[in-house]
Amino acid sequence: MEKNIKFSRGEELANAISHFSGALLAVAGLVLMVHFSIVYGNGWHVVSTSIFGSSMIVLYISSTMTHILPMGRAKDRFFNFDRIAIYLLIAGTYTPIALLTLHGPLGWVIFGIEWGLAIVGTLMILTRPGDYNTGVNTFYVVSYAVMGWLILIAIVPILNTLPLMGTLWILIGGVCYTLGILFFKVIKFPYHH
């Protein structure tokens, strides 16, 4: 396991505030997505966007709790839940793409692979929990990136189904999350998280 840099109390507070803000925005986003899914979509839209929105809320709340709590068992528990929530968010992000954009056999394969990997990652963390001071092992970071870029196996059907701007937003999101790994694992300066 690798050592995590120690955040100052100010950094932890800033992390907690920014992640709580993300949770509030995720709640608003969930409400809007479900509303528009009801008005313009069908049950698949409601379920898919509900899973995606809920996974964002879970991630941001678990991250907020990780950063707001003092060092100790509770912080370590939320740290592990935060690591699990990353798997859930990645799979949750793929859910609308798999079930709405791809649908059919390929969509279900992508859905199954993503949620299968999320379950495996969750079980690995539950059976070998880490602690906040140790940080996130590189294996988990790589597994998050692999899950995130799994979309490339379906890029041709995505390009044929999704409008160009939708595809670009998916790719831009993937690039931003991947660059975020640099700040998470490599580039460290005050308030980088």
Separation between Cα atoms, residue 78 and residue 58, nearest integer Å: 11
Residues 56-66 have a mean pLDDT of 97
Instruction: For residue 123, give both structure tokens.
Output: 């079980």
Separation between Cα atoms, residue 175 and residue 188, nearest integer Å: 19
Strand, coil or helix: what is 42? coil
Q: Which residues contact 93 (CB under 8 A, 6 or more apart)?
A: 52, 55
Q: What does the pLDDT look like over 129-186, one tens digit per residue?
A: 998 888 888 899 999 999 999 999 999 999 999 999 999 999 999 999 898 887 777 7
What's the confidence (pLDDT) of residue 5? 53
Q: Give this prediction's pTM.
A: 0.91
Q: Which residues contact 81 (CB under 8 A, 6 or more apart)?
A: 62, 65, 66
What's the confidence (pLDDT) of residue 2? 45
Strand, coil or helix: what is 70? coil
Separation between Cα atoms, residue 152 and residue 171, nearest integer Å: 10
What's the confidence (pLDDT) of residue 47? 98
